Structure 1
Amino acid sequence: MDIESLEKEFRKKVCDKIELFPEGKDRFVISAPFTFEDGDFLNVVLKKNGAGWYFTDEGHTFMHLSYDDLDFERGKRKEIINSVLKTHYLENDSGELKCTVEDNYFSDAFYTFIQGLIKVTDIAFTKRERIRSLFYEEFEEYLRNFFGDKCIFDYKEPNKDPGGKYPVDCYVENEVPLFIFGIYNNDKCRDAMITCLTYERWGFSFTSIGIFENQEDINKKVLARFSDVIEKQYSNLSASKERLPDYIKKIHILS
């Protein structure tokens, strides 16, 4: 392989500050000025696979994002990433992102690969609120389909709490109403607990349920206090979809 010619091709196609360094047999590390939000550089390597070549991040991108507690392996998060990978012709091989060089079009594949990695990191670092909202979209969609018109989302008690300091994520109308909370982090877990305790202090009767985005992410002490207050909880949305219907039948919450 003619490294100098390939460097010139990459510089012309992508940017001037690109260098190739041979490391091992049929393996070239590519130095390029593309970084994560924290300043760490994207990892790009060109490797040979049989008769062909491919670009790879060697698993670095998802590993780096995992340090920031960003998980793209569940629900709509996974759908977003899969859509990005498909658009940029990238393959997710057990966490390693790859792009095959077709017909020796190295510069085109390199450009596509870089664009795909940048798009993935953009989603991670600039759309955290959007990613969080995806959990609530799934949460609301499921509960609306299950309970129908009985659902009131982001409920505020009009007499005791007109300012909305103690909202209920999903209030299900019933003789004894159902309070359902979507829990995605420690603060939200504490807020839901405080809301339940406040409604108890006000003298309201209700049945409380917590549905976690991922219960394993919650601090053990926070979860322990929450468990003392909440009546039923599910470790994630999938668990709630599987088991909530039976629980509702068991307690005869809906008449």
Structure 2
Amino acid sequence: MVDETTLETRLCKAFCADLKVRAVEDGFAIATPFTDESGDRMTFFAVREVDGWLLADDGDYLASLIGAGIDIETSQRGDMLDRILREADAYWDRDTFEIKSSRVSDDDHLPDRAIRFLSGLLRTRDLSLMTREAVRATFRDDARKALFERLAGLADIEEGAPVSKSLEDIPADFLVSPRGPGNTAAIFVVTRNERLMEALLLQAEAQAQNVQNLSVIALLEDTNFSAISRKNLKRAHNRLDGVPVFRGDERAAIESIVRVARLEAAG
């Protein structure tokens, strides 16, 4: 049975095995065991200065957020970033976008400060998650508004509803039931692979159960498919009833849903 000493030893060994320190011109490059969204190992630098040490990343992370149009200065994300960095005794350079520590006074303090700095770097990655969730929520709200406005009088719309009892494990974001002629439309609001796979799964299960008069539709936000694999996107185009793109052509995207589901006003 593992005791606390054995577990501590194993954890230290596992952590240190993937921690790499390499000497560079001005100090050290420190590659950590942790990876970012692209799969690259998170790396930061210990830079030797006249009066001590400076810890810094390469500036790519914050630059990528700013390049994506994300406000990290005046928004809620900016407040969160500043709070995280203060707790790590760090700040971000407005000119280089690097995250930097305050001065580390001597060699003895460097390891402890490096761990504290790394903790801050890891926590800043929550900004990406916060951004994705906010974007997802905004997209869903905008799609909801457009659907309810266009389909008023044509169909009833349920949110988070399954197509049938036998398919209750795969609820659609919006289940559109026609009041007149037309198909039931199961609409999935897709911003990531998992949701697209659920739409594909519903299509396959509905076909296996011989469900009639059902249109399965994946509503994409835009043509930036960084969070959706090309393989899954190709499957969606080939197997789903519709894969409209919402942003920039919202009205046409909703009209394509009306056409695919063959929704008509009740006579």
TM-score (norm 2): 0.52
- Evaluate the alpha carbon distance shift between residue 180 and residue 251 of structure 1 in structure 2; reply closer, same or farther with a 3 A threshold: closer
> Secondary structure in 1 aligned to 2:34?
coil
Q: Deviations over 1:89-123 (max 9, x none)?
A: 6336698523375xx7969xxx9997565244146
C-alpha displacement of 1:205: 3.9
Q: Which amino acid aligns with 2:233?
A: L
Aligned to 1:203: 212
Q: How does 1:120-135 map to 2 (within 5 A)?
A: 120-122=121-123, 124=125, 133-134=133-134
Find out whether 1:153 has 2:149 as its counterpart. Answer: no
Query: Residues 157 and 175 of structure 2 are in contact (CA less than 8 Å); yes or no, is this contact kept in structure 1?
Result: yes
Aligned to 2:100: 99
Query: Residues 159 and 172 of structure 2 are in contact (CA less than 8 Å); yes or no, is this contact kept in structure 1?
Result: yes
Query: Residues 99 and 113 of structure 1 are in contact (CA less than 8 Å); yes or no, is this contact kept in structure 2?
Result: no
Q: How does 1:23-172 map to 2 (within 5 A)?
A: 24=25, 27-29=26-28, 36=34, 43-46=44-47, 55-59=55-59, 62=61, 82-87=78-83, 88=85, 90-91=91-92, 96-99=97-100, 117-122=118-123, 124=125, 133-134=133-134, 136-148=136-148, 151-157=157-163, 160-161=164-165, 164-172=168-176
> Secondary structure in 1 aligned to 2:188?
strand
Aligned to 1:179: 186
Aligned to 1:194: 201
**What RMSD in Å do the two structures reach over aligned CA positions?**
5.2
Alignment partner of 2:234 out of 217, 221, 224:
224
Distance 2:70 2:243 in 1: 25
Aligned to 1:10: none
Query: Residues 185 and 215 of structure 2 are in contact (CA less than 8 Å); yes or no, is this contact kept in structure 1?
Result: yes
TM-score (norm 1): 0.54
Q: Which amino acid aligns with 2:140?
A: E
The percentage of aligned residue pairs carrying the same residue is 14
> Secondary structure in 2 aligned to 1:241?
coil
C-alpha displacement of 1:193: 1.6
Q: Deviations over 1:163-187 (max 9, x none)?
A: 6123112224544454321335444
Q: Could you tell me which runs of 5 or more consecutive residues in structure 2 were left unpaired when the two chains were aligned.
A: 1-21, 107-111, 150-155
Q: Could you tell me which runs of 5 or more consecutive residues in structure 1 were left unpaired when the two chains were aligned.
A: 1-20, 235-239
- Evaluate the alpha carbon distance shift between residue 204 and residue 120 of structure 1 in structure 2; reply closer, same or farther with a 3 A threshold: farther
Query: Residues 151 and 170 of structure 1 are in contact (CA less than 8 Å); yes or no, is this contact kept in structure 2?
Result: yes
> Secondary structure in 1 aligned to 2:247?
helix
Distance 2:256 2:91 in 1: 47
C-alpha displacement of 1:132: 6.3
Aligned to 1:244: 250
Q: Deviations over 1:17-56 (max 9, x none)?
A: xxxx9954xx444879x86379x775233477xxxx9642
The number of residue pairs the alignment matches comes to 210
Distance 1:119 1:173 in 2: 49
